[in-house]
A and B are shown apart, each in its own frame.
Chain A
Amino acid sequence: GENVEQHPSTLSVQEGDSAVIKCTYSDSASNYFPWYKQELGKRPQLIIDIRSNVGEKKDQRIAVTLNKTAKHFSLHITETQPEDSAVYFCAASQGGYQKVTFGTGTKLQVIP
């Protein structure tokens, strides 16, 4: 089955700096890669996703890149703010009636 590895497990950055979280996946049939943000005590929420026919997607300060050949994808957050502090999860799926496999999470701390 699919295996998603996520690094780093913790990340501290100064406010205004960029943060990068990286994930690798094992199943070349995976074609959908969402990212979720979970603030302390709250439920995970989708922040951005990408499909395999696209190499990069941006939404304001957040971007995701996908390298299908290398089977890795990354989340980039620019101009970080204290409210970006949370746990971020990457995930991979083949779509259709297949399950979504999540990474182990990255705890991001943005230091004011």
Chain B
Amino acid sequence: DVKVTQSSRYLVKRTGEKVFLECVQDMDHENMFWYRQDPGLGLRLIYFSYDVKMKEKGDIPEGYSVSREKKERFSLILESASTNQTSMYLCASTPAGGSLGEQFFGPGTRLTVL
């Protein structure tokens, strides 16, 4: 079974704090993605990575950065959290082949920024 895990299910932070969301997959997948999910807006891609140390901007990268130092780990960083970044954050991974094929999602991190 593919397992994608995220460091926290729930997180509460204050405005201006630096926030790290971690995602780990154990199936040697090459591709990893970060989405945020908001009611009525679906899943919106923040950043994705097709290889170690490689990153590509998605549709809404502003206010976020990412790090992929190891193949199994993809981190999302909020440099200075703001209230409009309160959301559900979902990580996903896929095996080699780029964006074709099933994306395996993590359980999500519900982030609240006060």
Query: Chain A residues in contact with chain B, CB under 8 A?
Result: 1, 6, 9, 32, 34, 36, 42-46, 49, 89, 93-105
Contacts and interface: CB of A to CB of B under 8 A. Distances in A.
Given A97-B50, A99-B48, A99-B58, A44 B43 contact: yes
Contacts, number: 65
Centre residue among B41, B58, B103, B107 by max chain A CB count within 10 A: B103
Interface residues of B, number: 24
B99 A93 contact: yes
Contact of A98 (B43, B44, B98, B105): B98
A104 B90 CA distance: 15
A43 B105 contact: yes
Contacts of A42: 107
B108 A104 contact: no
B107 A43 contact: yes
A93 to B, nearest CB: 4
Given A1-B59, A99-B58, A34 B40 contact: no
Contacts of A6: 42
A96 B99 contact: yes
B42 A98 contact: no
A89 B43 contact: yes
Contact of B100 (A1, A43, A93): A93
